[in-house]
Structure 1
Amino acid sequence: MIDYLATFIFFFAVIDPIGTVPVFIATTNGYEGHDKRKIAFIATIVAAAVLLFFVIAGELILTAMDIPLSAFQTAGGIILFMFAFSMIFGESKPEEEIKMLNNVKETAIFPLAIPSIASPGAMLAAVLMTENAKYTLLEQTQVTLTLLAVLGLALVLMLCATWIHKFIGNSGASVVSRVMGLILASVATANVLEGLKIYYAL
């Protein structure tokens, strides 16, 4: 049995649904209400498909390439830490991705589904949290359901984006993004230490 709260917080940190709100507002600026809802659903479905692919096939791909999960966990932890570091000290998620939006076509796929919702950190987390040697099939199912719950929350926040943005503003989303970055940095450090421990124990 997994710790649902800890798993939920972990995925909430790497996906950062609140940080997606300003990105969604900028992406859907000028669209009618029904189009905004359609974009929110499409973005969530695409992000879910990408993350479920990593849940199902991520470890198989690593095994086929003869990459030990301990090495992937260590590397993933380092990358997650760099991602968290940028969230804390660099531009916040919404600020960075809104800038990305200015150079690309406004679509639900980019930057909403990828990389705002299905971020590189979320892809790594999907693999690490469903490791076959560490988690049973039941626990992997529970992790997947928790992941889908976070995606469901992201969808709800996007559907309520206008009201939420008025309430917290860009600065509020920036604060939340940095707090999540600090939590993610702690999780990333734990992953690195655990990966090194497993590697040198072999």
Structure 2
Amino acid sequence: MQTSFLSATVLLVLITDPLGNIPLFISALKQVKPERRRKVVYRECLIAFTVLLTFMFFGREFLDLMHLTDESMRIAGGVILFLIALKMIFPSGAGHAEKLQGEPFIVPIAIPLIAGPSAMATVLLLATREPGRMPEWIGALSLCMLITTLVFLFSVKLQKWLGEQAITALERLMGLVLTAISIEMLLGGITSYIRNIH
């Protein structure tokens, strides 16, 4: 599957799922004073961006160190994305928004809400599969983080404007698209692996 700048951006937005994370984000910031929230959003998004950028730049070295092939990463990435997509379509209902004391720092907003294992695996996969297109991947990640930051900045207004049902419906729709992407990635990895055996 040939990944374009636009499809990489869409993929990253689907995985970070800022709209679906609005309720969790609002819950995590309940203990933070309203005047501090904007600064917290900027800080947490910057931390998440730095973490994902690190994975993007040092992905190749990580794969070499662990003796992992591109095919195994594509298959693993497809499986992870498929599981994430299933959770988006069929949420367990057991809300994992824990009540936090004080201001959240790194956990749970930057990691794992934004820069979760699936996002880390995806940027690593993009960078290792086509390292010559690194500027495109950095641009896609930057655009994704900009969208995430804006969604979180206006999270309360968005939740009121869209309503819980609309947010849930959008998350299910994003989960459906992500399911198709994960299957495509999985099939691509398996096909490439079989081709290399012969």
TM-score after normalising by structure 2: 0.89
C-alpha contact (below 8 Å) 2:48/2:111 kept by paired residues: yes
Aligned residue pairs total: 195
The residue number in structure 1 matching 2:173 is 179
Alpha-carbon deviations, 1:132-187, whole Å to 9, x = none? xx4253x2211111111111111111111221111112332222221111111111
Shift in Å, 1:4: 2.7
Q: Does 1:50 align with 2:45?
A: no
The answer on whether the counterparts of 2:55 and 2:123 sit within 8 Å (CA) in structure 1 is yes
Please give the alpha-carbon distance, in whole angstroms, between the structure 1 residues aligned to 2:120 and 2:17: 13
Gaps (5+ residues) in structure 2? none
Q: How many angstroms does 1:103 deviate by?
A: 6.9
| Number of the residue aligned with 1:120 | 117
1:141 aligns with 2:135: yes
Task: Measure how far apart 1:3 and its partner are.
Answer: 2.4
Name which of 161, 168, 182 aligns with 1:167.
Answer: 161
- Cα distance in structure 2, aligned partners of 1:30 and 1:135: 43
Using the TM superposition, give the Cα deviation of residue 122 of structure 1 relative to its aligned residue in structure 2, in angstroms: 0.9
* Deviation, structure 1 residue 68: 0.8
User: Given the alignment of the two structures, is residue 26 of structure 1 paired with residue 20 of structure 2, yes or no?
Assistant: no
Partner of 2:71: 70
- Identical amino acids, percent of aligned pairs: 26
Matched with 2:189 is 195
Q: Is the 8 A contact 1:20 1:112 kept in 2?
A: no
Note the aligned Cα RMSD (angstroms). 2.1
Amino acid in structure 1 at the alignment position of 2:143: A
Label 1:171 to 1:184 Cα distance change in 2 as closer, same or farther (>3 A): same
